[in-house]
Amino acid sequence: MLAFPTPVELYERAVRLWKATTDTDARSELHQQVEDATVHHSIEPVRQGVVRALKWIRALHRHEQFWRDHGHSPREKTRNMNALPDSERLMGEWARYQRRTRDHLSTYQLIRLDISPSFQWDPQHSTWISNLQACERHRRATGSLPRLNSKDPEEFALARWLGRQFLALRLGTLSRQRADQLHAVLAGTGSDTPAG
- Residues 170, 96: one domain? no
Q: Select from 84, 91, 85 the least CA-distant residue to 63.
A: 91
CA distances from 146 to 95, 142, 177, 195 (A): 32, 9, 22, 22
Orientation of helix 123-142 relative to helix 176-186, angle to 10° = 10
Rounded to whole angstroms, how far apart are CA atoms 94 and 19?
26
* E-assigned strand segments in the chain: none
- Residues 32, 103: one domain? yes
Residue 35 lies in a domain: yes
* pLDDT in the model for residue 115: 92
* pLDDT in the model for residue 192: 47
Local confidence pLDDT in tens for the 196 residues of the chain: 457 888 889 989 998 998 888 777 888 888 888 888 888 776 565 565 688 888 999 999 999 999 999 888 888 877 777 888 888 999 999 999 999 999 999 999 999 999 998 998 988 888 899 899 999 999 889 888 898 888 888 899 999 999 999 999 899 999 999 999 888 887 775 554 444 3
Rounded to whole angstroms, how far apart are CA atoms 87 and 92?
9
Could you tell me the residue range of the domain that residue 97 belongs to?
A: 7-115
Residue 1 lies in a domain: no
CB under 8 Å to 182, separation ≥6 — which residues?
Answer: 132, 165, 169, 174
Q: Is 188 left (phi over 0), alpha (psi -120 to 50) or beta?
A: left
Q: Select from 122, 106, 115, 118 the least CA-distant residue to 17.
A: 115
Residue-wise burial string across 183-194, b where 16 or more C-beta atoms lie within 10 A, e elsewhere: eebbeeebeeeb
CA distances from 73 to 67, 91, 140, 193 (A): 5, 9, 27, 20
- Residues 136, 99: one domain? no
- Residues 19, 104: one domain? yes
* pLDDT in the model for residue 190: 56
- Residues 14, 36: one domain? yes
- Residues 107, 128: one domain? no
- Residues 142, 96: one domain? no
- Residues 23, 106: one domain? yes
Rounded to whole angstroms, how far apart are CA atoms 120 and 23?
22
Residue 196 lies in a domain: no
Rounded to whole angstroms, how far apart are CA atoms 145 and 185?
9
* pLDDT in the model for residue 28: 87
Given 115, 142, 157, the domain boundary residue is 115
Rounded to whole angstroms, how far apart are CA atoms 138 and 158?
9
Supply the pTM of this predicted model: 0.66
* pLDDT in the model for residue 161: 93
Given a contact cutoff of 8 angstroms between Cβ atoms, the answer to whether 119 and 56 are in contact is: no
* pLDDT in the model for residue 96: 93
* pLDDT in the model for residue 193: 42
How many structural domains are present in the chain? 2
